[in-house]
Amino acid sequence: MPVPEIVTAPYLLVFVAVASYLLGSIPFGLVIAKAMGLGDLRQIGSGNIGATNVLRTGSKSAALATLLLDAGKGGIAVLLARFFIGEDAAQLAGLAAFIGHIFPVWLNFNGGKGVATYLGTLLALSFFAGLAACLTWLAFALAFRISSLAALAAAALMPLWLHFMGLPSYVMLAALLGALIWMRHAGNIRRILSGTEKKIQLRKS
């Protein structure tokens, strides 16, 4: 049995954590909005730097680009760490990239809510686990038409899905990331309970 990486190469894990955090902390939504002349996201809508708030600028292309890049931060961090070091490093990279997104050093540690980066991380760790998270989000979004509720449900149910999928090694990470997502959605939770949370608007083409 191989010696655990945390014993054999702690400096590599430190490098992975720092590099992944810095990658995750890149505020793509803010950068894209400014580059496309859409204004400062922090002064628009909820003030969040994620894809949902980018969509409030009216630019679907900017929102899609933000979604893909924010998801890519977690996915790329995981895949690179796994390729060069191993599975333990991959999970650490996903965690660090996620923390970088929600607590970016460049924005006084006030970043996004982490949903896209969470999904990207899961898809890289296990495609089917990530697919399960996406389908859970979609099911709740279609049923209740509340994006934040769908994200909270996906985060809460993911450890259970991982258990039934035979992927227990990812349960702890999914639970931790899920708890952070719930923490970042505190305001949304209050609005959901009060019935004032905005719903997804379905527009006919």
Count up the domains in the chain and report the number: 1
CA 103/CA 98 separation, integer angstroms: 8
CA-atom Rg of the chain in angstroms: 17
Residues 146, 74, 104: CA angle, nearest 5 degrees: 85
pLDDT at 172: 97
Residue 81 · residue 5 · CB < 8 Å: no
Q: Could you tell me which residues come within 8 angstroms of residue 71 by beta carbon, excluding any fewer than 6 positions away?
A: 116, 117, 119, 120, 123
Query: In terms of residue numbers, what domain contains 46?
Result: 10-194
pLDDT digits 0-9 by tens, 120-129: 999 999 999 9
Identity of residue 181: I
Q: Is 199 a member of any domain?
A: no
Handedness of CA 89, 123, 40, 102 (dihedral sign): negative
pLDDT at 170: 97
Q: Is 79 a member of any domain?
A: yes
Q: Is 2 a member of any domain?
A: no
Q: Is 4 a member of any domain?
A: no
pLDDT at 193: 96
Q: Is 86 a member of any domain?
A: yes
pLDDT at 199: 85
Question: What burial class does residue 7 get, using C-beta atoms within 10 Å of its C-beta: 0-12 exposed, 13-18 middle, 19+ buried?
Answer: exposed
Q: Which residues of the chain have pLDDT under 70?
A: 1-9, 201-205
Q: Is 99 a member of any domain?
A: yes
Q: Is 78 a member of any domain?
A: yes
Q: Is 203 a member of any domain?
A: no
Give the H or E element holding residue 46: none
